[in-house]
Amino acid sequence: MNPVTGLNLGRLVLGLLSLLTPTLATRIFGLDGAKNPQLGYMTRMFGSREVAVGALTLAASGTRRRDLVLVGVGIDAADAVAGMVSGANGSVSKKTAVLLTLPALGAVIAGVAGLRR
């Protein structure tokens, strides 16, 4: 499967999960929604972004698709930095920082691989 297609299908699944069941999504990423009830709101915001980027990228072609992949790579890179910073400043555990950072880095790699095709 084309890495861009796989990545953006993954965005749709993760985005829908985050929108529909934010409690489950936060648990998957090792975050504690019980200690921070506002986390559901932020998770839904994340989910809507993932659905939008994933759907738009899958529907696009040519230069527009390439540009949307670049946008996705930038978002994923920012997410990876956010995961690393959160682990470094202690706002999440080191294990949770890894759970937040590695998928984002994987998405960056998949996006770049898709651009090189």
Confidence band, pLDDT 50/70/90 cuts, at residue 117: confident
Q: Is the pLDDT of residue 1 over 90?
A: no
Q: Computed over its alpha carbons, how large is the radius of gyration of the chain? A: 14
Q: Would you state the structure tokens that stand for residue 88, as one six-digit string? A: 């470094």
Section 18-41 average pLDDT:
93
**CA–CA distances in Å: residue 81 to residues 30, 36, 53, 57, 108:** 17, 22, 19, 23, 12
**pTM as predicted:** 0.90
Residue 30 Ramachandran class (φ > 0 left, ψ -120 to 50 alpha, else beta): left
Domain boundaries, the chain: 3-116
* Measured distance between the N- and C-terminal CA atoms of the chain, rounded to whole angstroms: 12
pLDDT by residue (tens digit) across 95-108?
A: 999 999 999 999 99
CB contact set of 71 (below 8 Å; sequence gap of 6+): 53
Q: Is the pLDDT of residue 113 over 90?
A: yes
CA-CA-CA-CA torsion sign (71, 73, 78, 79): positive
Q: Is the pLDDT of residue 13 over 90?
A: yes
Tell me the average pLDDT of the chain.
95
